[in-house]
Structure formats: C-alpha cells, structure tokens
Structure 1
C-alpha cells in the first residue's frame, strides 16, 4: 500500500498543484481586474458554490467513495450510474429554482439590488463544478491517476484562459470571470464524463441509490457544518463591515490556501487506498507515519507562506490588498487542518456518519460563536483567528473520536515537540527585520530550514526510509 500511496500522491499532488496553480494565477491577476469590493462579491458567490457542491448532490459521491472500491465491477458500475443520474437531476432542479429566485437571492447575498444577472451566470458555474468534481472523483475511485492528471491539466488551462479572457473583454469584469469559469467547468466535465462513460452511463438502480443515500445523507449536515466553519466568517465580516474587507480577507485566505496543495494530493490518493486496504495489519502504521510527515511538511509550507506572503503582496501585488498580508500566517494552518481528517478514517470505515456529523456541527458552532465574538472587535483579524480556532477544535475532536473506531499509532509526543519550534520560527520571522528585501527573504528561508531540520531530527520525515522503500523492486 505504501508504494501505491507514494506513487499516487505524486500524481495526484501534481494534478492538485496544477489546479491550485490555476487558482493562484487568477488570485494574482484578478486584483488588477477587480477592486476589493468586486473581489469580495466574487468570494461570496464562490462560497455559495462550495455549499452547493454539498447540498445539491447530497454528498452522493461520498457514498461512492465507500461502496465503489469495495464492490465487484458490475455492481460498482450500478452505484456509479445511479449517483451520476441523481446528481444531474438535482443540478437541474437547482438551476430552475435558482433562476426564479435570482433577484432576492442576489440582494440577500451581496446586500445590493440589481445583481440578478450575476446569479444567472453563476448557476451554470455551480452545476459545471459539481459535474467536474464528480467525474474527477470517479477517476480516483477507478484508480486512473493518469487520466485524472490530464483532466486536471485541461481544467486548469481552460479555467485560467476563459476566466481571464472574458474578464478582459466584458463590460463588467466580474461577470466575465464567472462566465469563463462556467464554460470551462461544463466543457471539461463533459470530457470527463466521456472518460468514465462505461461506469456512469448506466441505468439508475433504486436499490443502489438507496445504499448511497443512506450513507451520504447523514454526511450532508456534517459537510455543511464543515464549510460553515471555513466560510461563515466571510458572511459575518460582510455583515459587520464591507464587501471590500471581505475581498481582503478572501485574498489572504486564497494565498493561505496554497498550503492545501499538499493536503489535496495526499487526500486524493489516501482515501481510496485506505478503503481498499484498511483490513491489512500494516495499514494503520502506514497512515500514522504518513500523517507525521504530512504535519511536518505542512508546518514548513505554512511558515513559508506566512513569512514571504506579505512581502510578495507589498512588492508585486495591488496596494489595495496590503491588509491581507498579516492574515496569511493565521489562515494557512487553518486551511491545512481542514484536510487532515483523511488520516483519521475511523468514521468512514465504521460507517459512523452520525458521529462525523456531530463533530462537524460542533466545529461549525464554535466557528459561528467565535466569529460573532471577534469580528465586531477585530474585523478581518478576528475572522482569521475565529477560523483558526474552529479548525483546531474540529480536528482534535475528529481525531479523538476516530481513534476509538480505527486506532492509528501516531507518535503524538514527537509532533508536540515540533509545535514550539514552529511557533518560535513564526514569531522570530515576524519580529526580526532585516536590511533589504533579499536579506529578509534569506532570513525567512533560514527559519523555514531550521524548522525542517527539527522535523527530520525528530524522525517525522524519514527521508532515507522512504527513498529506500520507493527503490525496492516490485514483488
């Protein structure tokens, strides 16, 4: 399993880097098209997109994640086909209802009248993204990483090209950005559907769909709660402040989200492998060692973004977004923690979806409470602190309960020893000022290298062992 995990992590990680790279290009360029208020409006629309991905298909792909890898080929295809046609039906209903309610929905979301056109353009984008992620996930369940990579490459190129192209010619760039993303997602989702047509173009089976929904429906409140934890502070910030502040906070969140490059690649490869091999005795230890290395590398990446990100905005970004710099160091760990649940697979293996829902709701409740407590007093900084606190609470609770169902032997004391080193490096990097830009970059890189050295010394990143394993001849 470890060899497959490493191989698939590299492939899925490369695909994720491309997808996130496309988002990064948009991140760096869009501020030159959109002022902070328009960027904030885009952020809220994309937040609704995130919620739609959960609420409209009712998390049916999570059911596929549980049943498809463990089922015989013909039965697995019935599951996939049932999920596909169900998703299409739900998306069609979403578009019909959304088009009718576009006027009041836009006023409620953006706080201003006359924005129905944005909702009408956004609805096909919501549907296209849902279909793209469905076929992309299906390639994962079928263990087809090469095609997953190529589809991600195509999506990234189409997303950047069409979004920026239409933004540059549209009378209102925001409308062009959304329309470009809609066209890209729908087109690439269609190509992806052709790649997995043998499994998804099957007549839906009521019994199989029932199995999927019985598993996935309890996940919907939990998934909604997870996204609430991550995104609710944008809405609270908009209520207490302005769309411009939402834009600055979201800009910082997007830079911090680069840290999830590692998360997404590992998550994409680990989930199907765990479900296929969880009964094997060595699997828990493999997950534990992978988690330890993941935490160490993630902390180094978060430190890199938090220390170098503000300087990048200052020297290469738009001056309207300078307020985003100090928020990155807080938001980067929160972004990474939101994906660490894959290393605690107890809920999925034991089918304890109600437990999973409870953990997610608890995290969302804390996020909402912290948001209303901190944002009126601290603004965007309060939103960042509330996001970090909720992410940490949710992850601790998730691991604590999952370990009771499927114990993973993590060396917690070694991880605990790494955290003070990370905090010290972050504090030193923020407080110590160097003479000149390049001297500052060199100093920041030295702090990051020091943290990496501590991780290797603690044997959290066993580079030698991993390289020797990867070079072993196949049996």
Structure 2
C-alpha cells in the first residue's frame, strides 16, 4: 500500500509543484497589473465558480468514486462513468444558459456593478469546460492512471500560465487576460483528457445507477455547500464589511498560503482510491498512520519555510499595496491543510457510507464560521477572517476524526505529531518577533528548519530508514 501510495502521490504532487511554482511566478505580474480591488473581483468570481462546481451536479463525482472503484465488472464501470458524464454535462449546460439569460442580475448579485460583461461571460464558458474537465480528470484518478493525471495537470498549468502572460503583458488585457488564460488552458486540457478517456465513456445511461450515485452524494451536497462557506464566506463578508481591496489582500495571502498544502494534493489524490480498495486489510490502518506522519513532517517544513520568510516573499513578489497579506498567512496555511485533511485521514464515514456525519459536521462548522466572521471581521478585518477560518477548519477536522475513529480505528501517533507542531509554532513566533534576530533572520530561519528536522528524528515523527526509502524512491522516479 505504501509503495503504491508513493508511486501515485509522486505523479499527483509533481504537477502541483509546477502549478504552485508558476502561480508564484505570476504573482508579481498579477499584483503589478491588478490593484487590490481588481484582485478582489477575481477572487470573488472564482469563489462563485467554486460554489457552482460543488453544487450544480449534486457532487455526483463522490458517488462515482464510491461505486466505480469497488465495481469489478468493466461494463458496469462504463455505465457508471458514462451516466455521471452525461448528467454533469446536462446540469452545467442548463445552468450556463440561465446565467447568460439573466446575466445582469446574476453579475450584480455576485460581484456588483464593477464587473465587465465580457469577463463574466468568458468565465461562464470556462466554468462549463472546467466542470467536464474535472470529471474527466478524476476518472484518470479512479483508474489509478497517475501518470496521465500528471500530464493533464501539467498541460493545463503550462498553457494557462503562458496564455495569461501573453494576454496580460503583450495585449494589456489585465483582469480579462487572466480569465481568458484560464479558458484557453481548460480548452487544451479538455481536448487531451477526452482522448485519454476515449475507451471509458460510451453512449449508455442508467437512471438506476444515477439514482444510486445521487443517493450517496446528495447528503454531501449540503456538506459541499458548507465546505464552500468555510472556504469563501470570509471573502464575501470582507467585501460587505470592509472593502474589495481587503478581499484582494486576503486572497493573495490565501494563494501564498496554499503553497504549504501542496503535499496534500498528491496524498489526497493517491490515498483515497487505495483506501477504498484495501480498507479491509488488517495492515491498512497502520499504513495510513504511517503516511500521515510523512505528510505532517513535509507540511510542517513547508509551514516553517513560508511563515519564516513571509515578509521577504511578499516584498519580492508583490507591491506595497499587498504587504498586509503577511498578517493572515500564519493562520491560513494550517487552515488550508486542515480543510482537505479529513476526507483522507478520517475515512471512516466514506468507507461505511455514513456521509451524513460529514454533512452535519460541515454544516455545524459553517454556521459557527458565519457567526465568527460576523463577530471578528468588523473589529479585526482580514486578521479576524483568518482566525475564524483556522478555528473552524480545526473544529471540523477534529469532529470528523472523532467520528471516523469510532467507525474505522487508525493508530495515529499523536505525541510525535503534536510535539513537532508545537516546536514549529514556537520557532515561528520567536524568529518573527524578536528584534535582535531580524538582522540575521535568514540564518536563524535556516537553522530553525534544520533544528526542526533533527527534532522530528528525535521524537520519531520520521526515522532514518523512512528518509532513505523516500529519497531512494524519488531519485528513481521518472515522469
């Protein structure tokens, strides 16, 4: 299981490294051509698209994953996949048509009168193509085709970044150039991913299988809405209580913070199908706990690097208008990681089809999130939004973990994990707040990271044999 995990997660993580790396490369460009208000418009519009992606198909992909992966009959697997594809295409098509008909009302409601018509309409076309891309790309994951999955994501990243760069720098399209870049990248990806899945989807449809998938995924629709609230309600409330400028600054901080969660993308994509296939094996819980230690180790190193060098990163990559993003990064990095953790490392409800537990924890969390944002944002602005985001994601993770452990016990080594987390937090607080250290901050930051590495070995968060195994495996991989 661990061997398969390393193989698949490597291919899932490499595109993420590339994507995040190129995203960082584009930050100076974005912050130079977009003022914080424009960046805020982009952030809110992307939040709107994320909401539609989570809800419009009743999260049928979760149902497809649950039944497709366990099914042994290839013909039945084809019916599951094809049914989900045609249902997804139908839902997105109806939604896009309605949005074009009622453009003015929808655009004013989502963003306000500042939005350009072309920007919104191009974004809707991108939404339709990207919605189908999401299903096609996940199909590669369900079939454990991690290499093809990596190629698709690399293609999308390269085309999107290159197109955006040309449209912004040469054609001076600014905000419109960014959304056009997204659209061009999704078109190239769409053509390629259809080719890769040409033997999977057929002209077949089953209302029986559709009902089966939707019965499983329907409770997750409310969970998905709650997840969206927990990810994006802060932007909506910042726009309402403060300004679009603050939405833009918060959004930039969130984008930088997502770098630290890069390892989870590979973990989430590769580990989920493996758990569904092998959850009945006696060794699987121990292997999941082992993988969790690896994940925590890598995530805490990333957390240290980004937090210790956040001021320098912002000064190098952005303009003065965005420097306040530094105040939210410390909270948003762990929030970003926790927001996706429970679906991988608290798998009990997913394994035993108890998705209602996930739904209720997310709903309760989203209610508390709204209340905390109402309380904190008017008084503390973007810092209040960041604190609320971290608090809620921590609550949801712990709640889901408690439920999962009752359904599917996993022997996590909490002593090593918590002690390493405390060490990392103390290092960040000391180095970022003691004035006499700031003159030699880079040296102390490097020393702290090395010291954390040694501490992790000391408390056995990770051991020498595991490091050698990881190094040997990475060095021999070729894409």
TM bucket, shorter chain: over 0.9
Deviation at 1:245, TM superposition (A): 0.7
What residue in structure 1 maps to residue 50 of structure 2?
A: 50
Following the alignment from structure 1 to structure 2, what is the Cα–Cα distance between the partners of residues 423 and 312? 19
* Inter-CA distance 114–146: structure 2 relative to 1 (3 Å threshold): closer
What residue in structure 1 maps to residue 259 of structure 2?
A: 258
Deviation at 1:25, TM superposition (A): 3.0
* Contact preservation (8 Å) 1:131, 1:186: no
* Contact preservation (8 Å) 2:230, 2:369: yes
Q: Which ranges in structure 2 are unaligned for 5 or more consecutive residues?
A: 474-479
What residue in structure 1 maps to residue 34 of structure 2?
A: 34
Say which of 411, 414, 431 aligns to 1:429. 431
What residue in structure 1 maps to residue 476 of structure 2?
A: none
Following the alignment from structure 1 to structure 2, what is the Cα–Cα distance between the partners of residues 442 and 21? 24
Following the alignment from structure 1 to structure 2, what is the Cα–Cα distance between the partners of residues 203 and 209? 12
Following the alignment from structure 2 to structure 1, what is the Cα–Cα distance between the partners of residues 80 and 127? 23
What secondary structure, in the 3-state scheme, does the structure 1 residue paired with 2:280 have?
A: coil
Deviation at 1:116, TM superposition (A): 3.3
* Contact preservation (8 Å) 2:60, 2:84: yes
* Inter-CA distance 385–9: structure 2 relative to 1 (3 Å threshold): same
* Contact preservation (8 Å) 1:434, 1:443: no
Deviation at 1:107, TM superposition (A): 1.5
* Contact preservation (8 Å) 2:159, 2:185: yes
Following the alignment from structure 2 to structure 1, what is the Cα–Cα distance between the partners of residues 336 and 304? 13
In the superposition, the TM-score normalised over structure 2's length comes to 0.94
What secondary structure, in the 3-state scheme, does the structure 1 residue paired with 2:200 have?
A: helix
Following the alignment from structure 1 to structure 2, what is the Cα–Cα distance between the partners of residues 184 and 223? 26
What residue in structure 2 maps to residue 387 of structure 1?
A: 389
Verify: 1:413 aligned to 2:419, yes or no: no
What residue in structure 2 maps to residue 134 of structure 1?
A: 135
What secondary structure, in the 3-state scheme, does the structure 1 residue paired with 2:275 have?
A: helix
Following the alignment from structure 2 to structure 1, what is the Cα–Cα distance between the partners of residues 345 and 123? 34
Following the alignment from structure 2 to structure 1, what is the Cα–Cα distance between the partners of residues 315 and 229? 31
Q: What is the aligned-residue RMSD (CA, Å)? A: 1.9
Following the alignment from structure 1 to structure 2, what is the Cα–Cα distance between the partners of residues 469 and 325? 33
What residue in structure 2 maps to residue 273 of structure 1?
A: 274
Deviation at 1:132, TM superposition (A): 1.8
What residue in structure 2 maps to residue 450 of structure 1?
A: 451
* Inter-CA distance 374–165: structure 2 relative to 1 (3 Å threshold): same
Deviation at 1:111, TM superposition (A): 2.9
What residue in structure 2 maps to residue 404 of structure 1?
A: 406
Aligned length: 471
Deviation at 1:186, TM superposition (A): 2.7
Deviation at 1:180, TM superposition (A): 1.9
Deviation at 1:114, TM superposition (A): 5.9
Deviation at 1:68, TM superposition (A): 1.3
What residue in structure 1 maps to residue 178 of structure 2?
A: 177
Deviation at 1:27, TM superposition (A): 2.9
* Contact preservation (8 Å) 2:5, 2:270: yes
Say which of 352, 355, 359 aligns to 1:353. 355
What residue in structure 2 maps to residue 15 of structure 1?
A: 15
Verify: 1:205 aligned to 2:178, yes or no: no
1:283-307 deviations in Å (ceiling 9; x for gaps): 0000011112212321221121111
* Inter-CA distance 430–113: structure 2 relative to 1 (3 Å threshold): closer
Deviation at 1:83, TM superposition (A): 0.6
What secondary structure, in the 3-state scheme, does the structure 1 residue paired with 2:49 have?
A: helix
What secondary structure, in the 3-state scheme, does the structure 1 residue paired with 2:31 have?
A: helix
What residue in structure 1 maps to residue 162 of structure 2?
A: 161
Deviation at 1:465, TM superposition (A): 3.5
Following the alignment from structure 1 to structure 2, what is the Cα–Cα distance between the partners of residues 226 and 316? 30
Following the alignment from structure 1 to structure 2, what is the Cα–Cα distance between the partners of residues 396 and 125? 36
* Contact preservation (8 Å) 2:376, 2:388: yes
What residue in structure 2 maps to residue 329 of structure 1?
A: 330
Deviation at 1:471, TM superposition (A): 6.8
* Contact preservation (8 Å) 1:166, 1:176: yes
Following the alignment from structure 2 to structure 1, what is the Cα–Cα distance between the partners of residues 366 and 434? 36
* Inter-CA distance 148–315: structure 2 relative to 1 (3 Å threshold): closer
What secondary structure, in the 3-state scheme, does the structure 2 residue paired with 1:94 have?
A: helix
* Contact preservation (8 Å) 1:106, 1:113: no
* Contact preservation (8 Å) 2:41, 2:115: no
What residue in structure 1 maps to residue 369 of structure 2?
A: 367
What secondary structure, in the 3-state scheme, does the structure 2 residue paired with 1:182 have?
A: helix
In the superposition, the TM-score normalised over structure 1's length comes to 0.95
* Contact preservation (8 Å) 1:25, 1:160: no
Deviation at 1:356, TM superposition (A): 0.8
Following the alignment from structure 2 to structure 1, what is the Cα–Cα distance between the partners of residues 99 and 453? 49
Which 4+ runs in 1 deviate beyond 6 A? 469-472
Following the alignment from structure 2 to structure 1, what is the Cα–Cα distance between the partners of residues 25 and 222? 33
* Inter-CA distance 44–114: structure 2 relative to 1 (3 Å threshold): closer
* Contact preservation (8 Å) 2:167, 2:173: no
